[in-house]
Structure 1
Amino acid sequence: MSGPVPDANPGEQADAAALEAGRLLFARPCRFVLGAAGRDQLPEGGLPEIAFAGRSNVGKSSLINVLTGRTRLAATSVTPGRTRQLNFFNLDDRLMLVDLPGYGYAQAPKTEVARWTRLVQDYLTGRPVLRRVLVLIDGRHGVKEIDQRVMALLDRAAVSYQVVLTKCDKVTATTLPGLLARVATQLAKHTAAHPDLLPTSARLETGIAEVRAELARLSQWQAEAAEPSCG
């Protein structure tokens, strides 16, 4: 008499469960909380926060919109540097998503760029509830020197971060594996970098389910860590 048929691939089932958890989490309500233009305007840190960082016009707002399934939750623009404050979005009282001003080129006065650059640096290195930074890299261009500087800043502050490659629909299928290998090699030199890359396209919505699953894991980990232990 034969026993139960074992799972063909337990790893695939675990991945499917993670993807479903991500889908369910990001199907929940997400609302804009506030935009902070200074440290004194930052909200009290009650929820774990996930920050979206990257060069100007890399697609941070577009990624937040497609993750949450809302076309205009985060303002998007073809003009670099239009996000000039830290925008906070509450995802079902489980996570706070934070859209940061882009670093690098921006069509704004230098004094204003310097002000929000200091604000972003202060936030990234001094926010206790910040659980992970998603560092967005334009897949067409790869890691630039300014990205390296931001990652080095996060290394020194011991802030966990993970690279999301954006606009991968504009990268050919033959060159994408080489791009992933080069970025992985660069990340291996950074102590606070998560090893797994997340290639995405907001336009085609490819890779979005995997980003949702990763953030759902973080939200579940936080919930488990907050539960009182028995014994």
Structure 2
Amino acid sequence: MEQADDTSAASAFTADEIEAGRRLFAGEWTFLTAAPTIATLPPMRSIEIAFAGRSNVGKSSLVNALTGRKALARTSVTPGRTQELIFFGLGPELTLVDMPGYGFAKAPKDKVDAWTATVHAYLRGRANLARVFVLIDSRHGLKPIDREVLDGLDKAAVSYAVVLTKADQLRADELAERVAETQAGLARRPAAFPIVFPTSSREGFGIGDLRAAVIRLMAERGIR
């Protein structure tokens, strides 16, 4: 399909922010830990950015694209492969958290329920969690299960932003329509960041904007 033009949030960020984001994410990222339960969460050390979304929406691929690493986060075509909260660190400055996907997963129901409880407890109680990027497949848009997750984040007063993945698989006009539709769906949500981020991990589309958004968030918290 025709690759989408950049209808993303680039104009909302300065060239300096985009360059600062590139430099930051080019740093040395390391795997920190995998936490299957709240009791095994690592100590809070820096601000955390978490990635949530339906199984197989592309969370691990996005983490790899942001950090410029091909295999920092494990990717799989099998939905539900990520079964723990996976923590990646950039020195003392920043931690990324790859969360278990919600929705379909090839795992017993009791295990899925346990992951879900862990994720909810993490979102409610992690004091250094600065933002959740909620990934939505741009080909399909917001589904009822996604809205349930957004409802939970609103109730918990956890700041979140919507990232549209696989944007390279839509035409420019289709993507513009999906962005507008998503923004309309977020308009009255109290915890939602007002910018929607269309991205393609495969093509690198929109990745600079996400990095810049993290830079701005860190600056707002006096970290950079």
- TM-score normalised by the shorter chain: which range applies? over 0.9
Counterpart of 1:204 in structure 2 is 203
How far is the alpha carbon of 1:23 from its aligned partner?
0.5
Task: Tell me: CA distance 1:83–1:224, structure 2 relative to 1, closer, same or farther (3 Å).
Answer: closer
* Distance across 1 between alignment mates of 2:11 and 2:75: 35
Q: Deviations over 1:68-102 (max 9, x none)?
A: 01000000000000000000000232111000000
CA distance in 1, matches of 2:122, 2:76: 23
In 2, Cα distance between the equivalents of 1:210 and 1:203?
Answer: 15
Assess if the C-alpha contact under 8 Å between 2:162 and 2:196 holds in 1.
yes
- Quote the residue 2:61 is aligned against: 62
User: How many residues get paired?
Assistant: 215
Kindly indicate whether the alpha-carbon contact (under 8 Å) linking 2:47 and 2:94 is maintained by their aligned counterparts in 1: yes
TM-score by length of 2: 0.93
Per-residue deviation, residues 115-167 of structure 1 (Å, max 9, x unmatched): 10110111111111111000000000000101100100000010000000000
**Cα deviation digits, residues 175-220 of structure 1 (max 9, x gap):** 1111111100000121100010110000101000110111112223
Deviation at 1:14, TM superposition (A): 6.3
Number of the residue aligned with 2:4: none
Q: Secondary structure at the match of 1:223?
A: coil
The equivalent residue for 1:86 is: 85
**Residue 141 (structure 1) aligns with:** 140
SS for the counterpart of 1:133 is strand
- Say if 2:162 and 2:197, in contact at 8 Å, map to a contact too: yes
C-alpha root-mean-square deviation of aligned residues, in Å? 1.6
Please show how residues 211-226 of structure 1 align to structure 2 within 5 Å.
Answer: 211-224=210-223
Q: Hey, what does 1:24 align to over in structure 2?
A: 23
Alignment of 1:31-46 (within 5 A): 31-46=30-45
Superposition misfits of 4+ residues, deviation over 4 angstroms: 11-14
Whose relative contact order is higher, 1 or 2, with alpha carbons under 8 Å and at least 6 apart? 2
TM-score normalised over the length of structure 1: 0.90
Q: Paired residue for 1:131?
A: 130
Q: Are the equivalent residues in 2 in contact too, given 1:200–1:208 (CA < 8 A)?
A: yes
The residue number in structure 2 matching 1:228 is none
DSSP-derived class of the 1:119 partner: helix
Structure 2 equivalent of residue 111 of structure 1: 110
- Equivalent in the alignment of 1:101: 100
Q: Distance in 1 between matches of 2:47 and 2:156?
A: 17
* Match of residue 72 from structure 1: 71
Q: Distance in 2 between matches of 1:70 and 1:133?
A: 21
Contact 1:48–1:222 (8 Å) recurs in 2: no
Gaps of at least 5 residues in structure 1 are 1-10, 226-231
Q: Deviations over 1:29-78 (max 9, x none)?
A: 11000000011100111211100000000000000001001000000000
**Structure 2: unaligned runs, 5 residues or longer:** 1-9
Sequence identity, in percent?
52
Paired residue for 1:5?
none
C-alpha distance in structure 2 between counterparts of 1:186 and 1:39, whole Å = 31
Task: Evaluate the alpha carbon distance shift between residue 128 and residue 140 of structure 1 in structure 2; reply closer, same or farther with a 3 A threshold.
Answer: same
State the partner residue of 1:173: 172
Q: Residue type matched to 1:125 in 2?
A: R
**Greater CA radius of gyration, 1 or 2?**
1
Aligned residue in 2 for 1:49:
48
C-alpha displacement of 1:13: 11
Partner SS state of residue 221, structure 2: helix
